[in-house]
Structure 1
Amino acid sequence: MSCCGSGAELAMLAAPDPREVLLVSRTIAGGLRQTDLSVPDVHCGACIRTVEKALDALDGVTWARVNLSTKRVTIKWRADASPPPFIETLRNVGYEAHLFEVDGDARDTTLSELIRALAVSGFAASNIMLLSVSVWSGAEPATRDLFHGISALIALPTLIYSGRVFFRSAWQALRHGRTNMDVPISLGVLLAFGMSLYETAIHGPHAYFDAAVTLLFFLLIGRTLDHMMRERARVAVKGLARLAARGALVLQSDGAQTYLPVSEITPDMTIMLAAGERVPVDSQVTKGLSELDVSLVTGESVPQPALPGSVLRAGTLNLTGPLIITATASANESFLAEMLRMMEAAEQGRSVYRRIADRAAGLYAPVVHLTAAITLVSWLIVSGDVHRAITIAVAVLIITCPCALGLAVPMVQVVAARRLFESGIMIKDGGALERLAEIDTVVFDKTGTLTLGNARVVNSDNVDPATLALAGAIAAHSRHPYSRALAAAVPRLQAPIVLDDVSEHPGCGMEARLGGSVLRLGRPEWALTDTSRMDLDGSSVVLSRDGQCVADFRFEDRLRAGAVETVGDLKRDGLAVEVVSGDREMPVRTLASGMGVPYFAGVLPGGKAAHVAELASAGKKVLMVGDGLNDTPALMAAHASMAPASAADVGRNAADLVFLREDLSAVSQAIAVSREAGHLVRQNLALAVGYNLIAVPIAIMGHVTPLVAAIAMSGSSIVVVANALRLRGRGKSDKSQGAGASTPRMSVRLEPAE
């Protein structure tokens, strides 16, 4: 019996246990689970299509998407089934994979390999070029043969070392019966080298060692630049990951304190958070007073108070005092994890432009090979010169490589995602970026979007303390700005009130039971039985008991920083701007009139979505900007959507973009970046297609040598990358106002909760 297993047996041994896959997977909506795998060998559009197609074919898999920047594939599969054989399937199509683990401190071995290969090829190309110049200058046959031999000795180890970046990928593709962009590259390099070696052996006058090595050099420049730009996007993700706590001190039920890794912290665990530590998961303060650095969430550098009842976001920093907090979410479901997923998802989208480029690049490999073969046969028939026919065919093979087309779209998306991230704007996918560039109408929610959402009760002194405490107890169960304002208005020494069956009715208010009575806190027309008393001294929110008014509350709010300027900028850019709010007529009219935009007041959640749909049916492409639970249907119905980081969880999930800072100028900046990105994508596609339309006929006619073909093809890729990088230098936005920023003093009196 052999002591060694077969390759198939070893592959099965290397596959993870299904229980391990279940352990690292997480449950998501719709009865699905999500698994992330690291696939380090993917590097082009053909790789992405192969991996996604193989995984999509598995039973139980509903969605698979590759992130080229992180070399990660995200798979969604039915939770009621056992884990499909992801890793074995990818191995069968030529890609090694393993369960994804975030390691922000891991060394970038790929960049190191690329730089070493680039350095070797650059050194070799410069030396071979010096020898070639001497040959071109009229060297004697003996000297020419000597220089060709020396060039071969330099080129051979260079191709073996530097060319492995392309040869390895091409071989993996061919041995599994497919092609990718590296196949024509490898064929062109090897044919140029082989033909040159043959010419050297027979003392021929022509050799193209310089073309083979120079082609590698320029291709490695483009691939290194591409990798560096993707790595810069990954650095942003790594920077966010470093803000996550590694673990926390958890208070057990028996009073013991245990330090647990953040991955083992679950909702309702009690955590002891010392000063100077980061919040490990989304939590709520149960005891203690402190100040927090929440710049990660809001962009505001001024410390914010933390006191019992305060909601804490994962990644924020506890500055001054110890706190006892209760976890409200696991690490995978916390705010910081959500930001990480959105940042990484920017690369996973498939915009129209990218799908076109991917399909074109996928067709290129067979078309390139066919074109080169037809060129070879045609020149053999026309000239009968085998050497010339092979030389021209090699030049065609090299010059038609689709590298520029493959880089045209993803490079712009990576740079745009990085640019937006640096400005505190998270984008979910490249398709969202493209849709944002197409919008012609912007619809704003009011409370929490145009205004700060930090409403303040202005008549609490006129309300009986017991009634105020009752309203605050109901309001504490909601995250709505009015609810938070009411809860904050209740003195801290009030005894807690125990309520039954507390529920929230979006767009209407809160309902609870106390004893045998039904309490409602919200819109007068919803809370009161007697609708003739709806206008109670201009009240905006009422507390009712069994349909009878107990108290009314009025609020005021301030505009969000940059709101007036942003609306003005959008209007100057030719965009139609509207305010659609659930608030009553008076406060909405006051705000909209001050900005000079039309408005719709008293609109319920379904009405907002219907209004957006009506605009869409009229041919408008709408950007919806909102923050509340009631804005979610409209966010999903819009052509593109944005929400602040302070929005309700469901609102953030529905939005295409999330802005972290308080300044509303993020909206106009995101639109500007998306439009710039759209221009650059179209320019890149035009450059890539135009290059081929010009270069290929010239090469087929025999007017291009392999060396010129190598320089031209590599140059087109570098031009595409350089053009994408221009996005970082154009239209730099103003810095956010930061700590010293002043907020507009325009007060807005608020009425019914949105």
Structure 2
Amino acid sequence: MTHIRDLSSFVQHPAGGNAVMDLVVDGVKCGGCIGAIERGLAKESSIRSARVNLANKRLRVEWDDTFLKPDEILQKLEAIGYPAFPFANNDSVSREAVEERFLLRCLGVAAFGMMNIMLLSVSVWSGHDTNMSPEVRDFFHWISALIALPVVAYSGRPFFRSALKAIRSGAMNMDVPITLGVLLAVLMSVVETWQHAENAYFDSAVMLLLFLLAGRLLDQQMRRRTRDVANNLQAMQADTACKLLPDGQVRELPVADIRIGDLVLVRPGDRVPVDGKVEYGASEVDQSLVTGETVYAAVASGAQVYAGSINVSNTLHVRVTAEGAGTLLGEIKQLLRNALEQRSSYVALADKAARLYAPLVHATALLSFLGWVLAGAGWQTSLITAITVLIITCPCALGLAVPAVQVVASGAMFRASVIMNGGDTLERLAGVDHIVFDKTGTLTLPDGRLANRGELDEPTLQLAGTLAAASKHPLARAVATAAQAKTPAAVREFPGRGVEAVIAGVPARLGSAEFCDAVDAFAAAARRYPEASLIGLRHGSLVKVFAVEQALRSDAAEVVAEFRRLGFGVEIISGDREATVRSIALQLGDIPFRSAAKPAEKIARLHALKAAGHRVLMVGDGLNDAPALAAADVSLSPITAAHLAQAHADAVFLGSSLTPVLKAVLIARKARRLMLQNLWFSVIYNFIAVPLAIAGLATPLIAAAAMSGSSVAVTLNSLRARSVRNAGHGAGPSATALSPGAAALSPGAAALSQRAAP
């Protein structure tokens, strides 16, 4: 198919007159890569500047577009060896940058104030040993107050705003006790200074803000970096539609190039890329993404279809009625937002605990104050104890315990080229102990080669090509590629069997042996090409069989071997014939396999595995895999899969490698361990710290250091989710299994299996 790239929407024209475009560059890893790109582009006289940002793998190019087109820049980068994709900045990225700069300014002010106040505090502490006069001590306290008050007023704004917003909405969040603790500490210190007391706690309030701001800035940067990777992945997605030309040929164009009035082809299993009316064909569409309705809607000529819905059964010709930037891209953005903000049972537990904890902290502080007053300690000492309790029991560590891990793990997933969808995908991936792979297009590369091309006459190949061009099955794509088919037939797809159309008044079928009534011809072809996958053609009395050679994904054997070394069960369930599936299974280490499996048989096998106590990951790509993907505990699809399969999968992985599947499981397992570690750390910290604070054995300064230290410890532990080098090493799935009590946190682990199969 013809690919046309119009990149004008990504080009900016600042006041200087030159064109500017931002690109995501694939493969940038070091300073040498930066030099190669910048020097390579500098050879083009029309390019005024080229600057690469290694941190986010972005390239900004400025050039004279009178002599050089945007797509020519991409071609030059491809020639240098660094494929690039246009990138458009959005408002959310700008807002995040503004928020990060604001937090950095607050942190800088707090650090400046903390250094000066600590110098004054050290002078006061040392003055106790040198008989410092009360007048000098009070002077130092007032100087501390003059520094602390504006510092707290400025640096505390992120917490004060959040607390005020929560109170106005009648809720409690972590920033309420933080705000109360800081303000009470400052107010108490002013009163103590006014009354010429020996101690003031300006240093405690500012230290608390300093550490909390450091933690919040670190969290903001983790989220930004995760979104940078996610946005880069999003920019690399092919966002296309098949435009039907007046001569019947098809050109695959970016959705942004589709205009009102264009006619687009929507194959079975494809996502409808635009809003429009059906001009030819009758089918069923899944509109659940658009309307929330899970029952398929029947559409025919004149029916309205919407971008984002999925064509289930037959080919449709759709006349565009509304332009758009591409709903598929919008859905990918939603997937990324889901992944960044997903709420597993661990998140729900931590959020619930944090919500309950805020009023509990206030009650504990109040009771501590009243208890010490009744014990005759005086209101100053009692208030200091209450402030200490308020600060030391702030649930920051508990609130960060799970979200921090999820942010880091989501970033690791994106770097591993995995896009998650669903609130508990990470959690369910962590519980997997058995992997089921489809073969064609999953273990093998989606593009095959015709082994018997020389035996086929051109009219037969062209006839098969018109049928194959309307299907996304890997074997059909191999036939369409060999035929160089440009004009697809209007077909009806039978998942797991093949496609059918009426050509020259005679039914034509492309698909399995039984579907094409060509069992004998398939048997003869199987003897000649024992390791090839077969797809047949029947048109009246004409019967032909196409032998497609498929190559394993380059790392498939290593990935399967690593899964087995870690103790996972691995097997293949394929609709292909036995000899072909056996050949692949032997190449992968003689793993168990099932061949000639119909969609219902795949589901039955998954149910049998689940009944035996396994948690099953299904990896598949075809239209016939969609029911099995829905029936598994958790599922993945390659980005080349039919959109119907992707819609039923919990995550999508990019590229020609199978390694993202392994990394996804290992990252999820490590993330689960870190979540549990953080939750237990938070519980143990509070179990020790709270009694000490209530007993009056800690000062507000010690409380600020302890609480901030616990938050930093949780955050640093969460950062370990970035790497999976040692995740699961030398241990099977049971090595990281949840304890019985923790397992109760996962009631939704099998929820996906309850979704209705299409």
What's the counterpart of residue 609 of structure 1? 603
Secondary structure class of the residue paired with 2:559: helix
Letter of the structure 1 residue corresponding to residue 209 of structure 2: L
Q: Residues 105 and 354 from structure 1, CA distance in 2 versus in 1: closer, same or farther, beyond 3 angstroms?
A: closer
Secondary structure class of the residue paired with 1:554: strand
**Superposition pairs of residues 244-255 of structure 1, within 5 angstroms:** none
Residue of 503, 513, 517 corresponding to 2:502 = 513
Q: Residues 464 and 536 from structure 1, CA distance in 2 versus in 1: closer, same or farther, beyond 3 angstroms?
A: same
What's the counterpart of residue 345 of structure 2? 352
Letter of the structure 1 residue corresponding to residue 537 of structure 2: L
Q: Does structure 2 retain, via aligned residues, the 8 Å contact 1:525–1:534? A: no
2:722 is aligned with 1:728: yes
Paired positions, count: 571
What's the counterpart of residue 201 of structure 2? 208
What's the counterpart of residue 677 of structure 1? 671
Letter of the structure 2 residue corresponding to residue 131 of structure 1: L
**How much does 1:103 deviate?**
5.4
Secondary structure class of the residue paired with 2:537: strand
Letter of the structure 2 residue corresponding to residue 570 of structure 1: F
What's the counterpart of residue 457 of structure 2? 464
Residue of 680, 687, 693 corresponding to 1:693 = 687
What's the counterpart of residue 112 of structure 1? 101
2:614 is aligned with 1:625: no
Residue of 556, 563, 571 corresponding to 1:570 = 563
Secondary structure class of the residue paired with 2:440: helix
What's the counterpart of residue 224 of structure 1? 217
Deviation string 1:256-308 (CA, Å, 9 cap, x unpaired) is xxxx997684587499xxxxxxxxx89xxxxxxxxxxxxxxxxxxxxxxxxxx
**Superposition pairs of residues 2-13 of structure 1, within 5 angstroms:** none
**How much does 1:245 deviate?**
11
Q: Residues 244 and 447 from structure 1, CA distance in 2 versus in 1: closer, same or farther, beyond 3 angstroms?
A: closer
Deviation string 1:557-605 (CA, Å, 9 cap, x unpaired) is 1111101111100000000000000011111112113322111111111
**How much does 1:543 deviate?**
1.6
**How much does 1:613 deviate?**
1.8
Deviation string 1:125-176 (CA, Å, 9 cap, x unpaired) is 1111111112222132111111111111111111111112111211222233
What's the counterpart of residue 136 of structure 1? 125
What's the counterpart of residue 163 of structure 1? 156
2:153 is aligned with 1:178: no
Q: Does structure 2 retain, via aligned residues, the 8 Å contact 1:104–1:241? A: no
Letter of the structure 1 residue corresponding to residue 338 of structure 2: A
**How much does 1:200 deviate?**
1.0
**How much does 1:537 deviate?**
3.7
What's the counterpart of residue 292 of structure 1? none
**Superposition pairs of residues 210-609 of structure 1, within 5 angstroms:** 210-240=203-233, 265-266=258-259, 269=262, 333=326, 336-429=329-422, 431-490=424-483, 502-528=491-517, 535-538=523-526, 540-546=534-540, 548=541, 550-594=543-587, 595-609=589-603
Letter of the structure 1 residue corresponding to residue 513 of structure 2: P
What's the counterpart of residue 741 of structure 2? none
Deviation string 1:209-255 (CA, Å, 9 cap, x unpaired) is 1111111111111111111111111222444566699999x9999xx
Secondary structure class of the residue paired with 1:525: coil
Secondary structure class of the residue paired with 1:590: helix
CA distance in 2, matches of 1:661, 1:602: 27
- Over the residues paired in the alignment, what is the CA RMSD in angstroms? 3.2
2:645 is aligned with 1:656: no
**How much does 1:327 deviate?**
9.6
CA distance in 1, matches of 2:520, 2:226: 58
Secondary structure class of the residue paired with 1:354: helix
Q: Residues 412 and 498 from structure 1, CA distance in 2 versus in 1: closer, same or farther, beyond 3 angstroms?
A: closer
Deviation string 1:388-435 (CA, Å, 9 cap, x unpaired) is 111101100011111111111111111111122122222224521111
Secondary structure class of the residue paired with 2:380: helix
Letter of the structure 1 residue corresponding to residue 494 of structure 2: H
CA distance in 2, matches of 1:363, 1:662: 47
CA distance in 1, matches of 2:453, 2:678: 60
Q: Does structure 2 retain, via aligned residues, the 8 Å contact 1:443–1:622? A: yes
What's the counterpart of residue 30 of structure 1? none
How much identity, in percent, do the aligned residues show?
A: 46
CA distance in 2, matches of 1:575, 1:143: 71
Q: Residues 485 and 245 from structure 1, CA distance in 2 versus in 1: closer, same or farther, beyond 3 angstroms?
A: closer
Residue of 99, 104, 110 corresponding to 1:121 = 110
Q: Residues 330 and 685 from structure 1, CA distance in 2 versus in 1: closer, same or farther, beyond 3 angstroms?
A: farther
**How much does 1:447 deviate?**
0.5
Q: Does structure 1 retain, via aligned residues, the 8 Å contact 2:234–2:332? A: no
Residue of 617, 636, 645 corresponding to 1:642 = 636
Please, which moves more after superposition, 108-117 or 363-372? 108-117
Deviation string 1:19-42 (CA, Å, 9 cap, x unpaired) is xxxxxxxxxxxxxxxxxxxxxxxx
Deviation string 1:728-750 (CA, Å, 9 cap, x unpaired) is 255199xxxxxxxxxxxxxxxxx
Q: Does structure 2 retain, via aligned residues, the 8 Å contact 1:433–1:674? A: yes
CA distance in 2, matches of 1:141, 1:587: 92
Secondary structure class of the residue paired with 1:558: coil
**How much does 1:333 deviate?**
4.3
Q: Residues 379 and 491 from structure 1, CA distance in 2 versus in 1: closer, same or farther, beyond 3 angstroms?
A: closer
CA distance in 2, matches of 1:178, 1:136: 41
**How much does 1:110 deviate?**
1.0
Q: Residues 541 and 176 from structure 1, CA distance in 2 versus in 1: closer, same or farther, beyond 3 angstroms?
A: closer
Q: Residues 232 and 384 from structure 1, CA distance in 2 versus in 1: closer, same or farther, beyond 3 angstroms?
A: same
Secondary structure class of the residue paired with 1:524: coil
Which stretches in structure 2 are left out of the alignment for 5+ residues? 1-88, 247-252, 265-272, 275-318, 528-533, 728-758
Q: Does structure 2 retain, via aligned residues, the 8 Å contact 1:522–1:542? A: yes
CA distance in 1, matches of 2:694, 2:256: 59
Deviation string 1:172-197 (CA, Å, 9 cap, x unpaired) is 22233222111111111111111111
2:648 is aligned with 1:666: no
Could you tell me the TM-score, scaled by structure 1's length? Answer: 0.71
Letter of the structure 2 residue corresponding to residue 527 of structure 1: C
**How much does 1:715 deviate?**
1.0
CA distance in 2, matches of 1:474, 1:383: 91
Letter of the structure 2 residue corresponding to residue 715 of structure 1: G
Which stretches in structure 1 are left out of the alignment for 5+ residues? 1-99, 254-259, 272-280, 283-325, 734-754
CA distance in 1, matches of 2:703, 2:392: 5
Secondary structure class of the residue paired with 1:627: coil
Q: Does structure 2 retain, via aligned residues, the 8 Å contact 1:439–1:623? A: yes
Q: Residues 471 and 261 from structure 1, CA distance in 2 versus in 1: closer, same or farther, beyond 3 angstroms?
A: closer
**How much does 1:207 deviate?**
1.2
